[in-house]
Amino acid sequence: MPEILKEYDLRGVQGAEIFRDLTPGLKLLLDDGAIGSIVINPADGCYIVLDFTDSPAEAGRSGEEEIVYFEEVVGVVA
């Protein structure tokens, strides 16, 4: 389990703002264990585009870009 960075607390009202402002290059951990780096953040506080680097539940996902819903994001990882 990768370490979740505490400075990016995505919970609550402030979490929505932090999610909105996440910058490309940061890595996110999803609730199914997949990890991807941010390609584009449309800054709508809702979706984010990830380039998957690791996806234990779905091997074919690695290397793919996908739009991810905020509810699926567990946190920012190192």
Partner 1 sequence: MDLSVRTSKGDKFLRSFIDSEKGTVNRELYINQDVFEQEMEQIYRRCWLFLGHESQLRNPGDFFVSRMGTEEVLVVRDRKDQKIRAFLNSCRHRGEKVCRYDQGNSLIFTCPFHAWTYDTSGRLVGAAGQNSPQGYAGDLKKEDWGLTEVAQFTNYYGTLWATWDKDAPSFEDYLGPFAESVRYMCEGSDGVDNGLEVFTPFQKWRVPTNWKVPAFTSSRDPEHGAMTHRSVNAAAIGPMRELQGGDRSRKRQLIENITYVCGDHNLGHGGAWTKYLAPGIAEYVDGWYEDGVDDYFREMHVKKMEKYKDRIVPPQGHDAGHFCVFPNFIMDAWRWRIWHPHEVGVVERWSLFGVDKDAPKHVKDAVRHYVMRYNGPSGATESDDMENWNYVYPASRGAVAREWDYNFANGLGHGFQEDGAPGALVFNGNRSEEAHRARFSRWLAFMEAESWDDLYPIKSDANHRLW
Query: What long-range pairs does 46-52 form, CB within 8 A, spacing at least 24?
Result: 46/70, 48/19, 48/22, 48/73
In the bound complex, what is the minimum distance in angstroms from residue 7's beta carbon to partner 1?
A: 26
Pick from 23, 25, 71, 78 the residue near partner 1 by CB under 8 A: 71
In sequence order, the 6+-apart residues with CB closer than 8 A to the CB of 72 are 30, 31, 32
Contact between 42 and partner 1 (CB under 8 A)?
yes
Pick from 29, 68, 73, 76 the residue near partner 1 by CB under 8 A: 68
If the CB atoms of residues 7 and 71 are measured against partner 1, the closer one turns out to be 71
Contact between 49 and partner 1 (CB under 8 A)?
yes
